[in-house]
Amino acid sequence: MFDAASQEHATLARASLDQCLKCTICETQCPVMAVTPLFPGPKFVGPQAERYRHGDSVDHSLDYCSSCGTCTLVCPQGVKIAELNSVARAAMKKDHMPVRDQIISRTTLMGKAMHPVAPVANWALRLAPVRWIMEKVIGIHRKAAMPVASTQTFSSWLKHHTSSTQPTRGKVVFFHGCAGEYFEVETSIKTVELLEHLGFQVVTPKQGCCGLALQSNGLFDAARTYVRDLSAQLDIEPGTPIIGSAASCVGMLKHEAREIMGVDDPALIEVGARVRDASEFLLDLAERGELPLDFTPVPLTVAYHAPCQLKGQGMGKPALDLLRLIPGLTVVDAEATCCGIAGTYGFKKEKYDIGQAVGKPLFDAVLEVNPHLAVCDTETCRWQIAAATGAQVVHPVWLLHKAYGLS
């Protein structure tokens, strides 16, 4: 059952289900329903089933929802379909939460555990027997993409870093997310170097995890604590933009924590209004004529995948428009709905095959456009695409970094 705050929130979220006209647009776009009969679709488990739940969830097909949020994005009536499903799933799993879901949703914990022994951990995760045991014991599919721990954390790089340029444009706060601390360190470094190159003074507070993976696994209590702590850490330098290089975590701060878990701390609302995805921030500069366009040509053709949780922010695909400013670079929008990982969904042994089927149109597009390099804004999606295609998959700032001659 819910605590009082989430019960009230659930009631508010439920109000949107009366907007449902049963128009079926969500069903036509749901990437999971398209590949498996195990999930009866967002309309059915969402606004339809919700009328009968009364706080209890008994329809286990709901667990096959990947929480990608496509249904909410495409709904022309404003029904919070994915949010309703997330709340209902949390209620359903409350009393029998799998140990696996508790582990894989704590990214910081995984990072802290793997980083000191990174070479060993990375090596172990490549061993078939280790993966076989992981699948049998905790239910992480043996073929699922695993993060590669970095031997150097972003914090340790930052400790020895001094900007080589004089700030001319004022401050920005940098939000790297927990993956940016332990796994995607290079993306964090390139984002800082890029912002400094553009003349910003980059302030990076010590920061924890946003709790997104906990939330999507239904661990709301822990997720609320994480996102509140993070909001307090980022709520410095009033009025200063907060620039994030982890697009899905940016979405958590902007709206998901509020819309799914009912967190309404003033610090979260403040941070949510100030936080910008890196490409969103840079495109906004470009629109105002404040982004230098002295790019070195990057003669490449790459596929770009806009992650679900970036699309869910309702701002289009900023990276696509931004990268198209780089001469020589041809960016092909893969136009895929979802890569299939959906946070931690595609890691799970019972959902791995579904995740791979969801991602197949995207994998095919990447292999067709450029089997060596592709672009995507979020970490787990990059791991998923890289594992399925063999391509190197990079954050959009990597290409900007190169186009400015910084790499």
Partner 1 sequence: MTDTVVIGAGLAGLSAAIRLAEAGQKVTLLSFGLGGIQLGQGTIDVLGYRGADTLVERPFDEFAAWATEHPDHPYSLLGADVVRDSVDWLAARLPDLLVPGDGRNHPLPTAVGAMRPTYLVQPSMVWPDPTSVAVVGPAQIKDFYPHLVAANLAVTAQVEATGYRIDLPARAGEAESSPVVYAKALEDPDVLARFAEAVLDQIGDEDAVVLPAILGLHQCVQPQLAALLKRPVVEALLPPPSIPGMRINEALTAQAKAAGVRVILGSKVTGFESDGSRVTAVTLHQAGRDQSYPASHVVFAPGGFESAALVMDSYGTITEPVFDLPLAGLDRDDLITGDYWADQAIFAVGTRVDQSCRPLTGDGEVVYENLHTVGGLLAGAIRWTEKSGDGIAVASALRAADAILSPTGTWSPPASPTDQPPAPEVVQTLQEDAEDDADPATTPSPPEEDENV
The window from 31-39, 122-130, 196-204, 399-407 that contacts partner 1 (CB under 8 A) reads 31-39
Helix pair 266-274, 220-234: axis angle to 10 deg: 60
Site string for partner 1, 53-92 (x = CB under 8 A): -------------------xxxxxxx--------------
Contacts of 353 (CB under 8 A, 6+ apart): none
Shortest reach from residue 89's CB to partner 1, in Å: 21
Shortest reach from residue 338's CB to partner 1, in Å: 14
The answer to whether 267 contacts partner 1 (rule: CB under 8 A) is: no
The answer to whether 312 contacts partner 1 (rule: CB under 8 A) is: yes
Three-class SS state of 102: helix
Total of residues contacting partner 1 (CB under 8 A): 34
For the segment 92-131, give every residue that binds partner 1 (CB under 8 A). none
Considering the complex, state which of residue 134 and residue 250 has its C-beta at the smaller distance from partner 1: 250
The answer to whether 332 contacts partner 1 (rule: CB under 8 A) is: no
The window from 55-63, 152-160, 187-195, 247-255 that contacts partner 1 (CB under 8 A) reads 247-255
Helix and strand numbers (H, E) in the chain are: 24, 8
Considering the complex, state which of residue 24 and residue 296 has its C-beta at the smaller distance from partner 1: 24
212 contacts 345 by C-beta, under 8 angstroms: no
Considering the complex, state which of residue 135 and residue 270 has its C-beta at the smaller distance from partner 1: 270
- Return d(Cα 78, Cα 16) in angstroms, integer: 7
Q: Give rounded-to-5 percent helix, strand, coil for the chain.
A: 55, 10, 40
- For β-strands 201-203 and 171-175, DSSP reports them as parallel
- Burial profile 348-362: b = 16 or more Cβ within 10 angstroms, e = fewer: bbebbebbbebbebb
Shortest reach from residue 259's CB to partner 1, in Å: 9
Shortest reach from residue 74's CB to partner 1, in Å: 4
- Return d(Cα 230, Cα 225) in angstroms, integer: 9
- Return d(Cα 205, Cα 243) in angstroms, integer: 12
Chosen residue from 5, 17, 25, 138 binding partner 1 by CB under 8 A: 25
Binding stretches for partner 1 (CB under 8 A): 21, 23-25, 27-29, 33-34, 37, 41, 72-78, 251, 253-255, 272-273, 275, 287, 311-316, 321, 333
